[in-house]
């Protein structure tokens, strides 16, 4: 039998420790009243149409430890580096409590389950690193179930050499495999996040940057000394579509991450195209055109290089479109309710009537933008402005059930300004750009526990987009 | 070099020579004569050259003045066309102040049919960057529609939106936001004709 969650089991443990959620008032759920007036949040004006009641969602996450990895024919520093990457990945998965500071006698051959049980871990990762084929490494990993005193799973993963650019990504993919062994759901450590920001040392313009899941390996992808907008991952994780003024006029481009080649994506049409998003088929993109000529949402077949089409039912000033994971529907932002107030809508991808997703209350319409459809299809994240639209310069990240029509909302942030949410492929974590009293940065929030971490500090980043899985079982795509 | 002895010797020579000279005859009364034809001709030529030069100078002065006036007109027209217009928060509706500025531009544009403009729409930092691209575009288009509404050819106007990407004022306060909610004007053709246009 496959355990999909370890919670029932650890509830029975006498040494069970409740891992109470950091910021225990998160997440916050509409229509569910529960006592958590605590935390003394600054009493900001509410988001129109959103009645918030707080609920503590306490989660038990199982303790896990990594025994110092054995190394054959390699230096110990390599083992420490791999342990460090995996331990942090498991921590960032928000599914484990990673135990550190292991007693020295726990190292060595064999696994003494009784000893580890006294150390209060449910799961133990052990492993051996050896030289592999082609100058790479071979990483044999075992997962031990301390509670049942048995080997739960084991596998041997190939890894590139330590100085190979894909080394860390491959190690992340081992973390994801370990997470899947325990929870039945693959982790998202082997992913990257793309965003745009003013380049370091420059005073204008926006360039595209990319960063690993754990905040390491921040790299600049464009050097155009221009304004880049709305970067978006292709479904295969090999390309990034974005808008840029680099030719003097705004156009859409696609950057190939393999060879660094950049190409004009939509060489026809009038007006100002922006905000591209890929269809799951990787061939069609949807984007907005504003300005001279017909405005609204358009699709184009980028592989075939043809078939520019305006979507039936789209209107001028429809912006920020993206596809549902099955490609059947679109989510978008539109001010079509009459006042300028933008709202979030869903609409059949082939054109048709749009349906309101964000909460709209007549006479006090809020300001809702930047929707992103969960890869599981059931939920939509977007940003909601605090106060009416006249004051809306601060936003919070909200999640709505697609079927709920905005009646059931999860508020994931309670501080500062928060915009541009994008889902991880696990349908659980969301990356967004945030501003706090201590500065701006790229943040990641867990929709289950509400735990928030700063991915890239001290940058005024915009439009982050979370990649698909980029490596599996040690093999980088 | 000044030698007193040499000077003295020279003076003595002159005195002696004067003493020996005979009485000169009385001078003949000069016969009154007009300018010779050659002189008249020379004067005529000189006068006509002077007149031509004066005329040339006057022409140059006038040309320079005309040039200056043209440049002034061009500069004024350029200033009128280039003056930014501002908008209320989350609005693309033209305020009366904006309309006044646009009427002044309209006069210039009417007199200069060769002039083409690009309207660059901007938004303040509030709201999300993607929505602000649409908002900036709408502002640029309301300006474009103002001109075409008065009968100017639509082909003379192009719009582009920079959204919140190019603030001219960096602060996060109402004063900075008000300066950033704007449409800028770029002359893309006919700029050299501005001084010669009517009106």
ipTM rounded to 2 decimals: 0.83
| Stronger pLDDT, A432 or A76, i.e. the higher one | A432
- Interchain pair A290, B137: CB under 8 A: yes
Give CA–CA dist A145/A123, Å, rounded: 5
pLDDT (tens digit, 9 = 90+) per residue, A110-147?
A: 888 988 998 889 999 999 999 998 889 999 999 999 99
Q: How many CB pairs under 8 A join A and B?
A: 91
Q: Are A433 and B128 in contact (CB under 8 A)?
A: no
Q: Has residue A280 got a pLDDT over 60?
A: yes
Of the pLDDT bands very low, low, confident and very high (cuts 50, 70, 90), residue A74 is low
CA distances from B179 to A220, A450, B79, B168 (A): 31, 38, 18, 7
pLDDT (tens digit, 9 = 90+) per residue, B118-155?
A: 999 999 998 889 999 999 999 999 999 999 999 999 99
- Give the minimum alpha-carbon distance from A268 to chain B in angstroms, rounded to a whole number: 17
Looking at the complex, does the CB of residue B114 fall below 8 Å from at least one CB of chain A? no
Looking at the complex, does the CB of residue A453 fall below 8 Å from at least one CB of chain B? no
- Give the minimum alpha-carbon distance from B81 to chain A in angstroms, rounded to a whole number: 20
> A53 - beta bridge partners?
A29
> What would the two tokens of residue A349 be?
């991808």
Phi/psi at B29 (nearest 5 deg)? Answer: -65, 125
What is the per-residue pLDDT for A33?
A: 31
> A219 - beta bridge partners?
A210
What is the per-residue pLDDT for A31?
A: 41
CA distances from A257 to A240, A342, A391 (A): 7, 34, 40
Query: What 3-state class would DSSP assign to B45?
Result: helix
Give CA–CA dist A206/A65, Å, rounded: 42
Mean pLDDT of the region B8-18: 55
Q: Has residue A38 got a pLDDT over 80?
A: no
Mean pLDDT of the region B90-116: 94
Give CA–CA dist A142/A86, Å, rounded: 13
Q: Are B125 and A308 in contact (CB under 8 A)?
A: no
Which residue spans within A198-303 are E strands per DSSP? Answer: 207-212, 219-220, 228-233, 239-244, 251-256, 262-264, 272-278, 284-290, 296-301
Give the DSSP letter of residue A35: S
Instruction: For A353-396, give the secondary structure using H, E and C.
Output: CCEECCCCCCCCCCCEEEEEECCCCCEEEEEEECCCCCCCCCEE
Q: Are B163 and B99 in contact (CB under 8 A)?
A: no
Residue with tokens 């909601």: A384
Looking at the complex, does the CB of residue A371 fall below 8 Å from at least one CB of chain B? no
Q: Has residue B2 got a pLDDT over 60?
A: no
Looking at the complex, does the CB of residue B133 fall below 8 Å from at least one CB of chain A? yes
pLDDT (tens digit, 9 = 90+) per residue, B47-81?
A: 999 999 999 999 999 999 998 998 999 999 999 99
Q: Has residue A3 got a pLDDT over 70?
A: no
Looking at the complex, does the CB of residue A89 fall below 8 Å from at least one CB of chain B? no
Residue with tokens 């709209």: A360
Phi/psi at A322 (nearest 5 deg)? Answer: -155, 160
Q: Are A45 and A465 in contact (CB under 8 A)?
A: no
Q: Give the sheet arrangement for strand A329-334, strand by strand.
A: A319-323, A329-334, A343-348, A355-356
- Give the minimum alpha-carbon distance from B157 to chain A in angstroms, rounded to a whole number: 9
- Interchain pair A290, B133: CB under 8 A: yes
> What would the two tokens of residue A249 be?
């006029």
What is the per-residue pLDDT for B17?
A: 52
Q: Are A439 and A430 in contact (CB under 8 A)?
A: no
What is the per-residue pLDDT for A100?
A: 83
**Which residue in A295, A317, A462 is closest to B129 by CB distance?**
A462
Q: Has residue A408 got a pLDDT over 80?
A: no
Q: Do the bridges between strand B157-163 and strand B116-122 make them parallel or antiparallel, or are there none, so unpaired? A: parallel
Q: Which residues are within 8 A (CB) of A172 and not within 5 positions of it... i.e. 6 or more apart? A: A85, A89, A189, A190, A191, A212, A213, A214, A471
Mean pLDDT of the region A219-248: 96
Closest CA to A285 of A266, A268, A267, A257: A266
Mean pLDDT of the region A235-258: 96
Of the pLDDT bands very low, low, confident and very high (cuts 50, 70, 90), residue A51 is low
CA neighbours closer than 13 Å in the CB half-sphere of residue A166:
18
Give CA–CA dist A328/A281, Å, rounded: 11
Q: Which residues are within 8 A (CB) of A455 and not within 5 positions of it... i.e. 6 or more apart? A: A193, A211, A215, A431, A441, A442, A443, A444
Q: Are B155 and B164 in contact (CB under 8 A)?
A: no
Of the pLDDT bands very low, low, confident and very high (cuts 50, 70, 90), residue A392 is low
Phi/psi at A77 (nearest 5 deg)? Answer: -60, -35
Domains and CATH numbers, chain B: 65-196 (3.30.1330.60)
| Stronger pLDDT, A58 or B15, i.e. the higher one | A58
For A94-103, give one letter per residue: b (16+ CB within 10 A) or e: bbbbbbeebe
Query: What's the whole-number average pLDDT of chain A?
Result: 86
| Stronger pLDDT, A408 or B172, i.e. the higher one | B172
Q: Which helix (H) or strand (E) holds A124?
A: strand A123-131
Which residue spans within A8-93 are E strands per DSSP? Answer: 28-30, 52-54, 63-66, 70-71
What is the per-residue pLDDT for A390?
A: 60
Domains and CATH numbers, chain A: 63-183 (3.40.50.10070), 194-471 (2.120.10.30)
- Give the minimum alpha-carbon distance from B132 to chain A in angstroms, rounded to a whole number: 10
Mean pLDDT of the region A141-169: 96
């Amino acid at each position: 039998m496959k355990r999909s969650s370890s919670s029932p089991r650890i509830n029975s443990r006498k040494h069970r420790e409740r891992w109470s959620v950091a910021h225990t008032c998160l997440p916050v759920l509409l229509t569910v009243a529960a006592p958590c007036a605590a935390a003394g949040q600054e009493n900001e004006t509410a988001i129109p149409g959103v009645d918030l009641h707080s609920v503590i969602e306490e989660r038990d996450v199982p303790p896990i430890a990594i025994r110092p990895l054995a190394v054959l024919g390699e230096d110990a520093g390599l083992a420490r580096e791999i342990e460090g990457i995996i331990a942090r990945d498991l921590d960032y998965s928000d599914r484990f409590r990673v135990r550190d500071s292991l007693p020295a006698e726990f190292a060595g051959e064999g696994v003494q389950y009784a000893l580890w049980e006294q150390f209060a871990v449910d799961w133990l990762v052990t492993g051996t690193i050896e030289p592999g084929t082609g100058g790479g490494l071979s990483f044999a990993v075992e997962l031990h179930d301390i509670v049942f005193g048995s080997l739960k799973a084991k596998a041997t993963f190939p890894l590139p050499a330590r100085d190979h650019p894909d080394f860390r990504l491959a190690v992340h993919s081992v973390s994801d495999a370990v997470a899947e062994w325990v929870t039945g759901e693959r982790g998202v450590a082997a992913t990257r996040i793309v965003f745009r920001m003013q380049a370091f040392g420059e005073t204008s313009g926006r360039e595209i940057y990319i960063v690993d899941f754990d905040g390491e390996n921040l790299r600049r992808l464009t050097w155009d000394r221009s304004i880049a907008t709305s970067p978006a991952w292709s479904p295969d994780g090999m390309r990034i579509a974005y808008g840029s003024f680099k030719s003097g006029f705004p156009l859409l481009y696609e950057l190939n991450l393999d060879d660094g080649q950049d190409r004009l994506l939509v060489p026809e049409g009038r007006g100002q195209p922006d905000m591209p998003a890929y269809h799951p088929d990787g061939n069609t993109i949807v984007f907005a055109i504003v300005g001279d000529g017909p405005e609204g949402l358009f699709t184009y077949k980028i592989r075939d290089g043809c078939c520019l089409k305006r979507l039936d039912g789209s209107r001028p000033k429809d912006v920020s479109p993206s596809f549902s994971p099955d490609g059947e529907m679109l989510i978008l932002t539109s001010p079509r309710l009459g006042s300028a107030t933008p709202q979030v809508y869903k609409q059949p991808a082939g054109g048709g009537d749009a349906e309101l997703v964000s909460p709209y209350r007549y006479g006090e319409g809020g300001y809702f933008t930047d929707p992103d459809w969960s890869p599981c299809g059931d939920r939509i994240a977007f940003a909601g402005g605090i106060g009416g639209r006249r004051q809306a310069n601060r936003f919070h990240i909200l999640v709505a059930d697609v079927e709920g029509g905005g009646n059931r909302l999860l508020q994931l942030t309670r501080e500062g300004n928060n915009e541009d949410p994008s889902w991880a492929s696990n349908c659980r974590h969301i990356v967004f750009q945030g501003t706090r009293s201590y500065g701006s940065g790229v943040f990641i929030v867990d929709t289950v526990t509400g735990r928030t971490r700063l991915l890239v500090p001290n940058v005024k980043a915009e439009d982050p987009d979370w990649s698909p899985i980029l490596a599996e079982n040690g093999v980088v795509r | 070099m000044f030698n007193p002895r040499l000077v003295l010797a020279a003076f003595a020579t002159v005195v002696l020579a004067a003493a020996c000279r005979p009485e000169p005859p009385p001078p003949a009364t000069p016969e009154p004569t007009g300018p010779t034809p050659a002189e008249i001709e020379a004067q005529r030529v000189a006068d006509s050259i002077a007149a031509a030069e004066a005329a040339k100078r006057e022409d140059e002065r006038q040309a320079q003045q005309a040039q200056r006036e043209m440049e002034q007109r061009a500069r004024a027209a350029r200033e009128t066309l280039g003056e930014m217009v501002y908008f209320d928060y989350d609005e693309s509706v033209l305020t009366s102040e904006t309309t006044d500025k646009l009427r002044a531009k309209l006069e210039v544009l009417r007199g200069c049919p060769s002039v083409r403009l690009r309207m660059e729409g901007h938004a303040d930092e509030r709201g999300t960057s993607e929505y602000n691209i649409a908002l900036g575009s709408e502002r640029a288009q309301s300006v474009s529609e103002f001109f075409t509404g008065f009968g100017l050819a639509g082909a003379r106007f192009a719009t582009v939106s920079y959204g919140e990407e190019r603030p001219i004022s960096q602060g996060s306060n109402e004063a900075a936001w008000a300066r950033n909610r704007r449409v800028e004007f770029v002359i893309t053709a006919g700029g050299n004709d501005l001084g010669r246009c009517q009106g």
